[in-house]
Amino acid sequence: MKLDEIDPEVNKAIKNEINRQKNQLEMIASENFASEAVLKAQGCVMTNKYAEGLPGNRYYGGCEYVDIVEELAIKRAKKVFNAEHVNVQPHSGSQANMAAYFSVMDEGDTILGPKLSHGGHLSHGSPYSFSGQLFNTIQYEIDPETERWNHDQIIELAEENKPDVVLTGYSAYPREIDFSAFKEAADAAGAYLIADIAHIAGLVAAGEHENPFPEADIVTTTTHKTLRGARGGVIMSKKELAEDVDFSVFPWMQGGPLMHVIAGKAVTFKEALTQSFEEYQKQIVRNAKALASVLKENGLKLMSGGTDNHLILADVTSVGRTGKEAEDLLHDVGITLNKNMIPFDDRKAEDPSGIRIGTPALTTRGMKEEEMQEIGEMIISVLKGKESKNKVSERVEELCEEFPLYEDLEW
């Protein structure tokens, strides 16, 4: 029985989503296109299996094959990130962060983390998430002069407030993270250092960004952003925290792990260990730098003046637009990205001053600096209202045809 016969409405929405992904320029910095091998593993019968516990020590029978994939995922992730301990069961990045906090803190303890509007994530202590409700939070901010982290100021905040955890790792920070400076802040407070590398995990895996180990005690990540794999979370730690980490994931926070997703994660880590993955990550950064140059040359104000990683944060009020207007205008021509707060934004999250632009997904399609130059010019012409929308849309379509996606995907 085929899905289109059982549920034509769902099948049609999936088909339309496949076409949307194929026919638009995907520039959301946290999105990517998983390989067909990852999609196949993630869509498999392991979804049917309960496997509470850990490989070799489960609360259910019949775990012999899911044990194999979870052991492979753990072994490969250890190699990719040079980690002493890995738990691949968190369902998402936020859940990996929750487990990380409860591995080393109790309710009411203190996190020193980045402010949401300065590049942090909801789960880094924002009052809108569990992290800001269950824990006491102190939020650090970008330096208004350099538009980068001011490490002296963060160390001072740590000394004054003595947090239990210092959190580094961001959703909208275009610069390299200096993990040793954050380790200094953690040491100043006698705190644990947690690094959330969800955005830069692929770069770290390929050696294109410094590895948070050994400075960090715990490292969390998702597996679907620059890492380009199955959608989910992972938590890693030094070996002395292994038992606390595992207990915080199960039974404390989650029940049965998603074994089909863990199969997808195992394939993700195998791909991340290849030479072509390393080259791919290098190209992501080259593309982001090329795109940043053309946007900047054409008058767009970029946070910190550029990028070291896969993303760019641009203040579109510098070309007379709001973030929402920019997102909508670009969406209309087939360029997908997201509006984003910029540090010290005087506008609201619903319609902020910025947009966030990423290169991981376009790089997966095989695009290089030449295409970034052209796409940067297209973005500028749309924002400045220079070029007809139809002309830009036509070029978006051509580029999608020149750099095809999921050619062998059967649906």
Q: Which residues are catalytic?
A: 50, 52, 196, 222, 225, 231
Contacting ligand DSN (CB under 6 A), which of 30, 87, 223, 287? 30
CB of residue 396 to ligand DSN, shortest distance in Å: 22
CB of residue 65 to ligand DSN, shortest distance in Å: 31
- Residue type for position 375: I
Residue 115 in contact with ligand DSN, rule: CB under 6 A:
no
Q: How far is CA 180 from CA 121, 245, 347, in A?
A: 21, 23, 34
Residue 171 in contact with ligand DSN, rule: CB under 6 A:
yes
* Residue 303 exposure: Cα atoms within 13 Å on the Cβ side: 32
Residue 24 in contact with ligand DSN, rule: CB under 6 A:
no
Contacting ligand DSN (CB under 6 A), which of 76, 121, 265, 339? 121
Residue 129 in contact with ligand DSN, rule: CB under 6 A:
no
Residue owning tokens 């220079």: 386
Query: Two tokens at 375?
Result: 């796409």
Smaller CB separation from ligand DSN, 121 or 209:
121
Residue 229 in contact with ligand DSN, rule: CB under 6 A:
no
Smaller CB separation from ligand DSN, 58 or 307:
307
CB of residue 401 to ligand DSN, shortest distance in Å: 28
Calpha distance 296→304 (Å, rounded):
11
Q: Which helix (H) or strand (E) holds 363?
A: helix 360-364
Residue 93 in contact with ligand DSN, rule: CB under 6 A:
yes
Contacts of 397 (CB under 8 A, 6+ apart): 23, 334
Q: How far is CA 69 from CA 88, 257, 264, in A?
A: 11, 12, 9
Residue 359 in contact with ligand DSN, rule: CB under 6 A:
no
Residue 370, SS3 per DSSP: helix
φ, ψ (nearest 5 deg) of residue 88: -100, 15
Strands 218-222 and 110-114: unpaired
When CB distances to ligand DSN are compared, the closest residue is 30
CB of residue 380 to ligand DSN, shortest distance in Å: 23
Judged by the rule CB under 6 A, the positions of this chain that interact with ligand DSN are 30, 93, 121, 171, 198
